Amino acid sequence: MKNAYPGTGMSRIAIIVAMAKNRTIGVNNTLPWRCPEDLKHFKALTMGHHMIMGRKTFESIGRPLPGRTTVVVTRDPALKIEGCLIAHSLPEALKLCGNHAFIVGGADIYAQSIDYADILYITEIQQDVDGDAHFTEFDLSTWREISREVRTQDTPQPLEYHFVTYQRN
Ligand SMILES: NC(=O)c1ccc[n+]([C@@H]2O[C@H](COP(=O)([O-])OP(=O)(O)OC[C@H]3O[C@@H](n4cnc5c(N)ncnc54)[C@H](OP(=O)(O)O)[C@@H]3O)[C@@H](O)[C@H]2O)c1
């Protein structure tokens, strides 16, 4: 059973992330690989939905992504971003999303939300990658794999990656 944020009631929380074998997800506040099909996958899954992201991830993207409601989480009481909703805690962010949201990173936000997620969409990059942001360690035995799609690309860099979906047991 997953935990529930106090007062949030019924929820549907998905985490979406691309991570290397050594759990790297970022470097210098950007993605450490180029994988256009993964960006398409992200777009297809999140389109029309609410997305919750940390302030640093928002700065990395630099703009609200079209067709989705972006909730940026920050501790800065003065921060305002045109085209985005602002929340000062994860429970506040979830409330703005009616408790149905994609958690889209980064490392800090994933670590705080993994215990509350129902479903994980992980793009598993099949190699170690150097970086300075990593996906939180979590107990995979409490999740079951429900789908895996194996993909490869030659350009813009050779990469094998798997689109994997895990559901909480
Ligand atoms: N591979 C992927 O799928 C993926 C996805 C997303 C991001 N990334 C990467 O992840 C890296 C960024 O991750 P990160 O951990 O450095 O930053 P982050 O999680 O994006 O943002 C951290 C910021 O969120 C705010 N925050 C965190 N917890 C909060 C809370 N409980 N209440 C209120 N505000 C809170 C704070 O903002 P303030 O400082 O404004 O208070 C904090 O500095 C980048 O390299 C990015 O490219 C990778």
pLDDT one-digit tens code per residue, 86-142: 999 999 999 999 999 999 999 999 999 999 999 999 999 999 999 999 999 999 999
Q: Is the pLDDT of residue 10 over 90?
A: no
pLDDT, position 127:
98
Dihedral over Cα of 58, 63, 67, 71: its sign: positive
Q: How confident is the model at residue 9 (pLDDT cuts 50, 70, 90)?
A: low
pLDDT, position 37:
98
Answer whether 112 contacts ligand 1 (Cβ < 6 A).
Answer: yes
pLDDT: is 167 or 2 the higher one? Answer: 167
Contact 144, 166 (CB under 8 A): yes
Q: Is the pLDDT of residue 39 over 70?
A: yes
Q: Is the pLDDT of residue 5 over 70?
A: no
Q: Is the pLDDT of residue 11 over 70?
A: no
Answer whether 87 contacts ligand 1 (Cβ < 6 A).
Answer: no
From the candidate CATH numbers 1.20.1630.10, 3.30.70.580, 3.40.50.300, 3.40.430.10, the one assigned to the domain spanning 12-168: 3.40.430.10
Contacts of 151 (CB under 8 A, 6+ apart): 37, 160, 161, 162, 163
pLDDT, position 1:
60
CA of residue 110 to ligand 1 center, whole Å = 8
Answer whether 88 contacts ligand 1 (Cβ < 6 A).
Answer: yes
What percent of the chain is modeled with pLDDT above 70? 93
pLDDT, position 51:
98
